């Protein structure tokens, strides 16, 4: 008896575009057993999503599919659109990356849930509603009766995604395809959703196909891993095997790109993969990774194809790492460890800053934060979305003025809008944003973008002099002078962010505010940007205020870490004081939510239920009390937690002296 739910054989998907055919998925063979969970990883543009939509037989009209996709023995590619309806949403369900846009804004949640069983099960409206409520209960969502009457925009992103998952399990499908379902969510929410998915898989004995660029997430939910590159499967095998003995150079490079637990900038350089995922024409052959591979040999073009490494483990390259390197991180250690953490005086001092938005409905975005950024150091701010980290950064930059409190830069009061700051002060503080594509003017050339602050703030009027300096700067960010005349839309995301960094450094600032600078980038690009920011900090001695939701990134780049929750500080201290071990229950929960990629590492099991409290209400006690799992008692709700000093540089706010 064949127990495979899904058997994909020799699947090719080509798209005809202006000027020829490009190949999105090629020669893919894949099997998925009942109740098995596979994870598909790869950078963007590797064909992961196309593969999943092809299984649903949902591709753009200019696409051509060949091969076979057997679902429970039936070839889906032979089915008509009408027959496919019986599979979609019933036997195969899908959950998407962006829950907000995947739910119809003008229909209630109940309506959108009910229609699934109405169509697939032919039940009455009343029965359908009952089934919908049951699905919501299966996901442990509180007040299902209230939820079904609401509209998608009235609930949080995490809730929306759970609604989407509830929608997917309504007909108890055999296969659930999840396309980056937690990428847009906070780590704490992500952790809860990943647990839910694993539970549901057990309960309904579903097979899962989980697509993600995040190896940590894949590690958590999958038994088997499929690595895709440029439309091809380059390596596949059991999770343990892939993480411990990755054979394909791409798998290895991808795993090493991620700043893992314990990786810090003083000791390690992050691995990078030069180049980018190229679109390939349908007729181009050979190893897809050849151009970026550090281990390539002249024979790579001919000697190419999947090979068996062990019975369960195959890879499209068996030479590169035939003799395994025991510690993959060995070669990444920096030749000269960077000097120890600077203990300089404060460059930027934030004193009891409050930022309240709105007059009638007050939103307490930043609620009394006092912190300082030391000269030549990196302060990392971490917290869930809505914790006020971005507002704090933008207030320091002068994009907002604080409602109360003071910001001092090098002793000068700068608690005013940037419009009122002197050119000298504007020069001192620069910003890098999350989305370089949207923060660079698309109609300006790279030269204009980088040259403008030089002209305005440094008053270098000679165009030639500016150009020489710009070429120098571009060199520093690993871009050649060919980029001078290019415009942002012609650049890749990583190149855009490099231009943004060059622009920020063009006037030698003393403080750089980085607001999630790597969150929108692929992991391989993220690592090169982090390396670059680390190098530049060493060279220029600038201080950074580095905002990120990713604890790994914060841990890698920061000297000091501040954990924020609902506009207030939870914990602050030197990196190692905050991270190992964490004291504040929230820091602990955050750390415990982060998906780790080392399968042997012990994973935390603290899960935060609920969501951020309403920021329009002032909270008399500890802001975290509502979600805290180790409460000191009633006092948490009623009294502001006292500051507990652990050392000169380390403190946290909690009623428990030792935190969690």
Q: Is 115 in the site for another protein (CB under 8 A)?
A: yes
Stretch that binds another protein, among 22-30, 72-80, 89-97, 430-438 (CB under 8 A): 89-97
Distance from first CA to last CA of the chain, Å, rounded?
52
Judged by CB under 8 A, the stretch of 149-157, 268-276, 541-549, 618-626 that binds another protein is: 149-157
* 149 touches another protein by CB under 8 A: no
Longest Cα pair distance anywhere in the chain, in angstroms?
79
Does the footprint of another protein cover residue 267 (CB under 8 A)? no
- Name which position in 62, 64, 104, 412 contacts another protein (CB under 8 A): 104
The stretch among 66-74, 78-86, 193-201, 226-234 that binds another protein (CB under 8 A) is 78-86
Closer to another protein by Cβ: residue 126 or 360: 360
Q: How many CB atoms are closer than 10 A to CB 104?
A: 12
When binding is defined by CB under 8 A, the residue of 7, 90, 516, 522 that contacts another protein is: 90
User: Could you say which of 62, 78, 101, 297 contacts another protein (CB under 8 A)?
Assistant: 101
DSSP string spanning 88-145? BTTTEEEE-S-HHHHS-TTS-HHHHHHHHHHHHT---HHHHHHHHHHHHHHTT-S-HH
Strands 568-574 and 560-565, bridge-based pairing: antiparallel
CB of 132 to another protein, least distance (A): 13
As given in the structure block, the two tokens for residue 423 are: 């050119």
**Does residue 653 touch another protein according to CB under 8 A?**
no
Nearer to another protein, 112 or 497 (CB): 112
Give yes or no for residue 572 binding another protein (CB under 8 A). no
Contact window for another protein (CB under 8 A) among 113-121, 263-271, 272-280, 365-373: 113-121
316 in helix, strand or coil? coil
| Cis status of the peptide bond prior to 581, with omega within 30 of 0 | yes
Q: Does the protein bind another protein through residue 433 (CB under 8 A)?
A: no
Q: Which two tokens stand for residue 565?
A: 């929750």
Smallest distance, Å, CB 119 to another protein?
A: 6
Least distance from C-beta 89 to another protein, angstroms? 4
62 binds another protein (CB under 8 A): no
How many chain residues bind another protein (CB under 8 A)?
31
Q: Are 110 and 152 in contact (CB under 8 A)?
A: no
Q: How many residues does the chain have?
A: 660
Binding residue (CB under 8 A) for another protein from 26, 48, 70, 120: 120
Does 72 participate in binding another protein (rule CB under 8 A)? no
Closest to 517 in 3D by CA, of 431, 446, 449, 586: 431
- Nearest approach, Cβ of residue 98 and another protein (Å): 6
Q: Smallest gap, in angstroms, from Cβ of residue 151 to another protein?
A: 4
- Of 150 and 476, CB closest to another protein: 150
Rounded to whole angstroms, the Cα distance separating 318 from 321 reads: 7
Torsion of CA 355, 358, 363, 368, to 10 degrees: 20
605 binds another protein (CB under 8 A): no
In the bound state with another protein, the residue whose beta carbon lies nearer, of 181 and 216, is 181
Rounded Cα–Cα distance for residues 547 and 387 (Å): 11
Q: How far is the CB of 105 from another protein (least distance, A)?
A: 6
Task: Check if the beta carbon of residue 397 is closer than 8 Å to that of residue 418.
Answer: yes
Under the rule (CB under 8 A), what is the footprint of another protein? 56, 58, 81, 84-90, 93-94, 96, 98, 101-107, 115-116, 119-120, 151, 153-154, 164, 167, 614
């Amino acid at each position: 008896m064949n127990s495979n739910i899904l058997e994909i054989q020799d699947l090719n998907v080509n798209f005809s575009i202006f000027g020829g055919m490009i190949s999105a998925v090629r020669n893919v063979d894949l099997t998925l057993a009942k109740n098995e969970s596979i994870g598909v990883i790869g950078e963007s543009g590797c064909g992961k999503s196309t593969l999943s939509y092809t299984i649903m037989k949902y591709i753009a009209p200019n696409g051509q599919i060949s091969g076979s996709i057997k679902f429970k023995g039936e070839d889906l590619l032979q089915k008509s659109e009408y027959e496919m309806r019986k599979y979609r949403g019933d036997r195969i369900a899908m959950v998407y990356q962006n829950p907000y846009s995947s739910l119809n804004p003008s229909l209630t949640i109940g309506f959108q849930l009910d229609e699934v069983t109405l169509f697939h099960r032919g039940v009455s409206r009343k029965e359908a509603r009952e089934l919908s409520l049951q699905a919501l209960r299966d996901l442990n969502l509180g007040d299902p009766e209230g939820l079904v009457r609401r509209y998608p925009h009235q609930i949080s992103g995490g809730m929306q995604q759970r609604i989407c998952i509830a929608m997917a399990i309504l007909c108890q499908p055999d296969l659930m395809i999840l396309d980056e379902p937690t990428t847009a969510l906070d780590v704490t929410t992500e952790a809860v959703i990943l647990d839910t998915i694993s539970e549901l898989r057990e309960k309904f004995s579903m097979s899962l196909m989980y697509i993600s660029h995040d190896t940590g997430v894949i590690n958590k939910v999958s038994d088997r891993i499929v690595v895709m590159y440029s439309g091809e499967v380059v390596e596949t095998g059991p999770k343990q095997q892939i993480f411990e003995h990755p054979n394909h150079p791409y798998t290895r490079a991808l795993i090493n790109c991620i700043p893992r637990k314990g990786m810090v900038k003083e000791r390690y350089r992050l691995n990078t993969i030069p180049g980018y995922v190229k679109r390939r024409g349908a007729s181009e052959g050979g190893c897809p990774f050849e151009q970026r591979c550090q281990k390539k040999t002249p024979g790579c073009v001919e000697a190419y194809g999947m090979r068996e490494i062990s019975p369960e483990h195959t890879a499209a390259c068996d030479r590169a790492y035939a003799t395994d390197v025991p510690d993959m991180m060995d070669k990444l250690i920096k030749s000269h460890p960077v000097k120890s953490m600077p203990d300089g005086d404060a460059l930027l001092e934030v004193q009891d800053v409050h930022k309240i938005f709105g007059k009638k409905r007050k939103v307490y975005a930043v609620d009394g934060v006092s912190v300082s950024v030391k000269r030549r150091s990196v302060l990392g701010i971490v917290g869930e979305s809505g914790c006020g980290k971005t507002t704090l950064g933008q207030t320091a930059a002068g994009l907002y003025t604080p409602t109360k409190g003071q910001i001092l830069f090098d002793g000068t009061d700068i608690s005013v809008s940037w419009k009122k700051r002197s050119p000298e002060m504007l020069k001192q503080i620069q910003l890098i944003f999350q989305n370089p594509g949207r923060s660079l003017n698309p109609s300006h050339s790279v030269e204009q973008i980088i040259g403008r602050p030089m002209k305005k703030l440094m008053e270098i009027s000679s165009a030639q002099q500016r150009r020489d300096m710009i070429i120098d700067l571009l060199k520093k960010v690993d871009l050649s002078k060919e980029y001078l005349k290019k415009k942002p839309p012609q650049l890749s995301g990583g190149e855009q962010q490099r231009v943004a960094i060059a622009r920020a450094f063009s006037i030698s600032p003393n403080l750089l505010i980085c607001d999630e600078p790597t969150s929108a980038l692929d992991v391989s690009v993220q690592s090169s940007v982090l390396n670059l920011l680390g190098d530049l900090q060493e060279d220029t001695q600038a201080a950074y205020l580095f905002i990120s939701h990713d604890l790994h990134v914060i841990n890698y780049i920061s000297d000091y870490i501040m954990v924020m929750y609902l506009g207030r500080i939870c914990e602050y201290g030197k990196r190692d004081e905050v991270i190992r071990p964490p004291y504040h229950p929230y820091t602990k929960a955050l750390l415990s939510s982060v998906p780790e990629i080392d399968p042997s590492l012990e994973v935390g099991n603290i899960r935060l239920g609920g969501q951020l409290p309403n920021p329009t209400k002032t909270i008399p006690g500890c802001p975290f009390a509502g979600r805290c799992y180790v409460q000191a008692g009633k006092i948490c709700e009623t009294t502001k937690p006292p500051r507990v000093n652990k050392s000169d540089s380390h403190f946290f706010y909690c009623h428990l002296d030792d935190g969690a």
